Structure 1
Amino acid sequence: MKIHRLSIVLLYAITILCVFLLFQKGGSYYFQPLIDRPHNPIHSNWKPGGFVGHGAGIIGSVLMLVLFLYSARKRFRFMRKWGNIRYWLNYHIWMGVSGPILVIFHSTFKVHGIIAISFWSMVAVALSGVLGRYIYLQIPRSLSGEELSGRDMQDVQDDLHADLNRFSGLKDRIFETISMIIGKHDISQSTKLAALFNWLLSDLALPFRMIKLRGVLRNSPEITKYQTREIIVTVRKLAILKRRIVFLQQAQAILHYWHIIHKPFAYVMIIIMIIHVIISIVFGYKWIF
C-alpha cells in the first residue's frame, strides 16, 4: 500500500515537474502570437512537429492509450486478478490527467479544424474523470476495491459504533456534537442532481465539524490526547460511511449515467487522435524514429 502511494505521488510529481520545465523553457513561445512564433529561436524544437512538441504529443498519446487497460481490467475475466482495482484506477486517473496535459503542450495551445473536436473531447473526458472519481468514492468498497454488500456495510458501521462506545465518560455535549457530525440525511424527495449537491456540501462541511468536535474534546479534561485522536478518527469514518450508505442508490445511478457521458467522448477523442497520428506518419512526421 505504501509503495503504491509513493509511486502515485512520484508520478504526479513528475507531471508537475514536466509542466514547470515546459513553461520555464518554452513559456515565451507559448504566449507569443502565432504569426511571430516562426521567428522564435526555439520554434524548430517546440512547434508541434519539433523535437519537444512532437515528443510531448507522443508521450501524451501513449498515456491516453495505455489508460484503456483499466477498462479492459474490468471487462475481461482473465484480467480480474491482475492486482487491486483501486490501484488500477489511480494509475488510470494519473494517465488521464498527464496525457491530456502533454497533448496540450504538443498543440502549443492552439487547436483548429477536426483536431479541435478531439481536443475538447479530451478536455471533457479529463474533467468528467475527476467527477467520476468523486462519485466512485461515494460507493463503500473493500480494500480490494470491490463494492461492499449491504451486510458488509452494516458490519463496518457496527464496528465503528463499538469503537466509539469504548470511550466511557463522554458527556452529553460531546455526544450531541458527534450526533450533529454523523447527521441524518433525508433524501426521500431528492433528485439525483440534488443528492449530488447535498453530499458535496456534506463533504465540504465535514472538516469544519471535525474542528468543532476537536475543540469540544480538548475542553473536556476527562478526555486524553490519545482518546481525542481516536475519537476524531472514528467519528470521521462513521460520518463518511453513514452518508455513503444513505446516498448509495443515488451514487450508483449517477455513476451509471456518468459512464454514458464519459465513454462517447473518450471514443471520439481516441478515434480522431489515431487518424491524426496516421496522417502525421504518412506525411513524414516520425519524431526521432
Structure 2
Amino acid sequence: MKEREKIIVAGLVVLMLIAWLGFPFHVSPRFAGSLWGGVFGVAGALLMLVPLAYMVVKRMKRVKQFVTKYMSMRTLLAWHIYAGVVGPILVVIHSGHKYESPLGVALTAMTLLVVVSGFVGRYLMNQFSKEIREKNAQLDQLKEVYDRARNELAAHPQQALAIRSFSGFVSRLAVGLLLPEETSPRTSTASVSSPREMIRLAEAIADVEYAIATHEKFKTWFGKWLKFHIVISFVLYGLLALHVYFAIYFGLRWFE
C-alpha cells in the first residue's frame, strides 16, 4: 500500500468509526426507511459487493485472464480497498444510528470488524515484508564485510586464535574488558580487522538474522489473517443478504 493511499484509507476508516460512534448523540429511527436512507443503503451495499467481485476475479483463473485484459489486478485491488471502506461508511449513515434489531447490530458489528481487520492486516503485512527486505539487504552488507575481514585474518593466525577464545556466550560478554579498543590508526598495509571488531561484526550478523527470523514468524502468523478476513467477509455478506431480504419483505409487502 503506497503511503498516500494508506493515509487516505486510514482517514476513511477513522471517518467510518466516527460515524459509527455518533449513535449516543444522534438517532433517527425513520431515516433508514426514507428516500435518502434507501439511497445510502443501496449505494453502500453495491460498493460492498466490489470486494466480493475482486475475490472472485483473483481466485478464478479464467475470469482473471478475461478481466486483466482490460484492467490490471493493481487497479482492481485499489477498487477493492476504496469500495470496501466507502461502502460501510454509507451503510453506517443509512442505519441512522438505530441499532435495535439483533440483525442490524450484528451486521454493523461485522461490517466494522471486516473493514478494520482488512486495513490493519494489509498494513502490517506490507510493513513486515518491507522490514524483511531491508534486514536482508543489511545482512548481505554485513556478510560481505565479514567475509572480507575473515580473509584478512586468515593470514594472521595469532589474531584468529584470539577470536577463538571468545567463542562462548560468557566470554563474549567480557570482550569490552579483555579486548581493548585499537588506538593506532589503520593503514592500507595493516588493514586487518581487530578481534574486537570481528566479534562485534559477528554479533551484528546474529542480531540481524534473529530479527529476520522474528519478522518471518510474525509474517507467517499474520498470513492467517487473510483466511480470517475471508471467513468474516462471507459472514458479512450472509447478514447483508438477510437484511436486504427482510427490508424488501417488510418494506414492500404493501404491494400484495
Instruction: Output the TM-score relative to the length of structure 2.
Output: 0.54
Partner of 1:238: none
Which of 36, 52, 55 aligns to 2:36? It is: 52
- 1:64 positional shift: 0.7
- CA shift in 2, pair 1:285/1:66, >3 Å: farther
Does the 8 A contact of 1:138 with 1:251 survive in 2?
A: no
- CA shift in 2, pair 1:138/1:73, >3 Å: farther
Q: Do structure 1's residue 118 and structure 2's residue 112 form an aligned pair?
A: no
Aligned pair count reads 181
Q: Do structure 1's residue 91 and structure 2's residue 85 form an aligned pair?
A: no
- 1:59 positional shift: 0.7
Distance across 1 between alignment mates of 2:239 and 2:227: 19
Which of 226, 241, 252 aligns to 2:220? It is: 252
Partner of 1:262: 229
- 1:135 positional shift: 3.0
Distance across 2 between alignment mates of 1:89 and 1:73: 11
Distance across 2 between alignment mates of 1:273 and 1:95: 16
Q: Do structure 1's residue 31 and structure 2's residue 2 form an aligned pair?
A: no
- CA shift in 2, pair 1:84/1:132, >3 Å: farther
Q: Do structure 1's residue 62 and structure 2's residue 46 form an aligned pair?
A: yes
- Cα RMSD of the aligned pairs, angstroms, is 4.4
Q: Give ranges in structure 2 of 5+ residues lacking alignment.
A: 142-203
**Deviations, residues 207-262 of structure 1 (Å, cap 9, x unaligned):** xxxxxxxxxxxxxxxxxxxxxxxxxxxxxxxxxxxx6x872353133212x12322
- CA shift in 2, pair 1:30/1:101, >3 Å: farther
Structure 1 consecutive aligned stretches of length 4 or more whose deviation exceeds 6 Å: none
Which amino acid is the alignment partner of residue 210 of structure 2? D
Helix, strand or coil for the counterpart of 2:49? helix
Instruction: Output the TM-score relative to the length of structure 1.
Output: 0.48
Q: Do structure 1's residue 282 and structure 2's residue 249 form an aligned pair?
A: yes
Matches within 5 A, 1:154-169: 157=137
Partner of 1:107: 95
Which of 181, 184, 196 aligns to 2:208? It is: 184
Partner of 2:124: 135
- 1:106 positional shift: 0.6
Distance across 2 between alignment mates of 1:270 and 1:97: 15
Percent identical pairs in the alignment equals 25
Partner of 1:197: none
- 1:263 positional shift: 2.2
- 1:140 positional shift: 4.5
Does the 8 A contact of 2:41 with 2:90 survive in 1?
A: yes
- CA shift in 2, pair 1:5/1:53, >3 Å: farther
